[in-house]
């Protein structure tokens, strides 16, 4: 199977974005160009041969291809790209169509599952159709009769016409027939039309069946508004593509790799080390990081990765190990003063093996690094680890306080995600499941019951997936200074604040700042009560307070000065995610309820 990507257009409607590049070279929000994304996904699905037609800026596409040294590329330039349509590019490349193909236009952005399922479909000739999507005015539509595509065009609108994207899987026989008619068009001087015009004339002899993309993502980027919309839409599909594996699968993945292991003393007697040693895999251990990772430590990790020619990152430990590994992956190819500057996505793979159940860091796009004592929150879509192993056995030996705290962190993340102004149906689904799993397993988990440990680890991951979409809210914003002032662990500090924030919210619905309105927030609070299996919000809040009491967690005592420090420390950005407005006076009152006075 060969991939054919048509990249010969000018992209005039992209404006300034394509003054110095082809439109397939514009970047999505994750720092990845459209062309890089296409090649990456197709190669991950097993495609090794690529035929690329080009027009302007051919050298840029060739340069990108060098990032994929294991793939074979053939480039065919259309010298009159500004006077012809892609039918002429297809004609120029005709001698290289020597296999079954998957072909697509260079402005298409799609999710990996779409390509996987197209390739896995036993039918040999397919193209992507969506019967549910509104017919576009100016873009391709397909006329479909009895499941067969008989015409593709822009100006077709009858009841048999549906939204269409030019992504095809074609047998060698069918593409050869199409190319023969393309050649007839060119021989007759017809080079300013779509290649689909040649298909339409002989569609009865080229049976192409519809492949529904209703449950997948594929869309074109034709102007700056498209780029903004597609970048936003595709990220959620990308987050779902995180691969959950086990140690047996890891053995195959590790072949031909030289991983940097980001871990501490846990690694010494780990299953991971045993596998690496059994397979005689050369690796580098990086353990020079602290519980609050510092910028200088990150630089040491980057040096370890680069100087030892590593090509893979594995984090094995808690949130700090995962955060450091995320940043090593993110900045591994950056030069100079890279910190806190826009960074492109790279192809380095990161496997996360969390050793705690609470932060959910293995499923989020966030990391924390401290530079000169200042906390920097690193956020980048590409740092969600590519693969995860959830090994519940790692939870057995955790200190009991750490188990309580991290479990509460996951619970609070899920609750906050559920009411966040950024919540979606998907994030709420993750959060709801996480809350239910934690509430029904927490005390069995503390007793190391096997099934409960599995469920808490799953809950932690789901809570991470939830905040990856929605982010956290006021309880997290108010927790950080408690931790630094009193040495209280993070999850413990969040749990102290959350019941009183929840209480404040249900009594101040009129201060709603969620654009979905106060009625929506009332329904959200009612939903949470049901998830807690309580008749109302007050009962749910009391249930949470009683859990904290049963867990026997200390409550710090504060002075007036410490109250002022706490109140002034709160991150306003996270307050913007809270559906009910909070000001400093409210925050101060909540601290007074959540903590003791000296």
The full length of the chain comes to 598
**What per-residue confidence (pLDDT) applies to 11?**
67
pLDDT above 70 for 433: yes
Locate tokens 């990391």: which residue? Answer: 367
Q: How far is 390 from 393, CA to CA, in rounded Å?
A: 9
Locate tokens 């662990």: which residue? Answer: 489
Mean predicted confidence (pLDDT) in 270-298: 95
**What per-residue confidence (pLDDT) applies to 565?**
94
Give the three-state DSSP class for 246.
Answer: coil
Mean predicted confidence (pLDDT) in 130-135: 94
**What per-residue confidence (pLDDT) applies to 548?**
94
What domains are defined for the chain? 2-240 (3.90.550.10), 242-390 (3.40.50.1970), 399-598 (1.20.1090.10)
The per-residue pLDDT for range 453-488, each reduced to its tens digit, is: 999 999 999 999 999 999 999 999 999 899 989 999
Mean predicted confidence (pLDDT) in 335-353: 86
In the chain, pLDDT over 90 holds for what percent of residues? 88
Which of 37, 16, 9 is CA-nearest to residue 344? 37
Residue 427, classified by CB atoms within 10 Å of its CB into exposed (0-12), middle (13-18) or buried (19+), is: buried
Q: How far is 230 from 441, CA to CA, in rounded Å?
A: 39
The pLDDT mean for the chain works out to 94
In the chain, pLDDT over 70 holds for what percent of residues? 100
Mean predicted confidence (pLDDT) in 225-231: 93
Mean predicted confidence (pLDDT) in 540-563: 95
Instruction: Give the model's confidence band at 209: pLDDT under 50 very low, under 70 low, under 90 confident, else very high.
Output: very high
**What per-residue confidence (pLDDT) applies to 138?**
85
**What per-residue confidence (pLDDT) applies to 327?**
96
Mean predicted confidence (pLDDT) in 409-416: 98
Q: How far is 151 from 202, CA to CA, in rounded Å?
A: 9
Mean predicted confidence (pLDDT) in 546-571: 93
Identify the helix (H) or strand (E) that includes residue 57: none
pLDDT above 80 for 362: yes
Do 431 and 417 touch, CB atoms closer than 8 A? yes
Q: Which residues contact 507 (CB under 8 A, 6 or more apart)?
A: none
The per-residue pLDDT for range 182-200, each reduced to its tens digit, is: 999 999 999 999 999 999 9
Alpha carbon separation from 342 to 24, 310, 334 (Å, rounded):
19, 23, 10
Identify the helix (H) or strand (E) that includes residue 366: strand 366-371
Strand bridging mode 284-286 / 259-263: parallel
pLDDT above 80 for 518: yes
Q: How far is 101 from 115, CA to CA, in rounded Å?
A: 12
Instruction: Give the model's confidence band at 339: pLDDT under 50 very low, under 70 low, under 90 confident, else very high.
Output: confident
Residue 418 CB coordination number (10 Å): 24
The per-residue pLDDT for range 95-106, each reduced to its tens digit, is: 999 999 999 999
Positive or negative: CA dihedral 541, 546, 547, 552? positive
Q: How far is 54 from 58, CA to CA, in rounded Å?
A: 6
pLDDT above 80 for 340: no
Q: In terms of DSSP H, where are the helices of 96-190?
A: 112-120, 172-187
pLDDT above 80 for 167: yes
């Amino acid at each position: 199977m060969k991939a054919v990507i048509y990249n010969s257009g000018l992209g005039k409607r992209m404006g300034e974005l394509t003054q110095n590049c082809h439109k397939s070279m514009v970047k999505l929000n994750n720092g990845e160009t459209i062309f890089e994304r296409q090649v990456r996904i197709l190669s991950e699905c097993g495609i090794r041969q690529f035929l690329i037609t080009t027009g302007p800026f051919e050298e840029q596409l060739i340069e990108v291809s060098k990032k994929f040294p294991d793939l074979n590329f053939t480039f065919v330039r259309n010298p009159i790209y500004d006077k012809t349509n892609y039918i002429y590019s297809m004609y120029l490349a005709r001698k290289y169509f020597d296999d079954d193909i998957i072909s697509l236009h260079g402005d298409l952005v799609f999710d990996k599952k779409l390509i996987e399922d197209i390739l896995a479909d036993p039918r040999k000739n397919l193209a992507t159709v969506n019967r549910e999507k509104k017919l576009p005015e100016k873009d391709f539509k397909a006329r479909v009769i009895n499941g067969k595509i008989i015409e593709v065009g822009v100006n077709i609108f009858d009841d048999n016409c549906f939204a269409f994207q030019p992504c095809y899987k074609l047998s060698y026989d069918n593409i050869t027939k199409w190319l023969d008619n393309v050649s007839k068009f060119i021989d007759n001087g017809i080079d300013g039309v779509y290649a689909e015009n040649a298909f339409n004339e002989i569609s009865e002899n080229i049976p192409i069946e519809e492949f529904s993309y209703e449950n997948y993502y594929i869309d074109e980027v034709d102007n700056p508004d498209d780029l903004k919309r597609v970048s936003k839409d595709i990220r959620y599909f990308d987050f779902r593509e995180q691969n959950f594996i086990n140690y047996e699968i890891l053995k195959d993945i590790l072949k031909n790799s030289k991983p940097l292991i980001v871990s501490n003393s846990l690694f010494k007697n780990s299953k991971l080390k045993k596998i690496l040693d059994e397979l005689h895999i050369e690796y580098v251990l990086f353990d020079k990081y602290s519980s609050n990772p510092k910028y200088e430590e990150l630089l040491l990790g980057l040096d370890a990765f680069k100087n030892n020619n590593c090509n893979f990152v594995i984090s094995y430990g808690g949130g700090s190990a995962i955060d450091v590994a995320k940043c090593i992956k993110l900045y591994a190819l950056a030069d100079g003063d890279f910190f806190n500057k826009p960074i492109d996505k790279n192809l380095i793979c990161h496997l996360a093996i969390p050793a705690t159940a609470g932060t959910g860091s293995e499923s989020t796009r966030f990391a924390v690094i401290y530079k000169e004592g200042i906390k920097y929150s690193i956020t980048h879509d590409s740092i969600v680890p590519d693969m995860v192993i959830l090994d519940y056995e790692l939870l057995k030996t955790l200190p009991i306080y750490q188990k309580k705290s991290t479990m509460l962190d996951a619970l609070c993340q899920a609750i906050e995600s559920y009411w966040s102004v950024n919540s979606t149906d998907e994030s709420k689904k993750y959060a709801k499941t996480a809350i239910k799993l934690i509430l029904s397993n927490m005390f069995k988990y503390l007793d190391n019951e096997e099934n409960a440990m599995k469920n808490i680890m799953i809950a932690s991951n789901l809570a991470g997936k939830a905040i990856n979409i929605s982010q956290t809210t006021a309880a997290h914003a108010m927790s950080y200074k408690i931790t630094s002032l009193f040495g209280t662990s993070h999850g413990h500090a969040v749990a102290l604040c959350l019941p009183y924030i929840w209480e404040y919210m249900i009594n101040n619905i009129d201060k709603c700042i969620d654009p979905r309105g106060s009625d929506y927030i009332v329904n959200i609070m009612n939903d949470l009560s049901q998830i807690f299996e309580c008749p109302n919000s007050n009962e749910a809040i009391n249930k949470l307070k009683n859990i904290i009491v049963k867990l026997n967690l200390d409550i710090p005592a504060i002075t007036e000065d410490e109250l002022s420090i706490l109140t002034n420390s709160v991150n306003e950005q996270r307050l913007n995610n809270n559906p009910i407005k909070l000001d400093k006076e409210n925050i101060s009152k909540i601290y007074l309820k959540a903590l003791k006075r000296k």
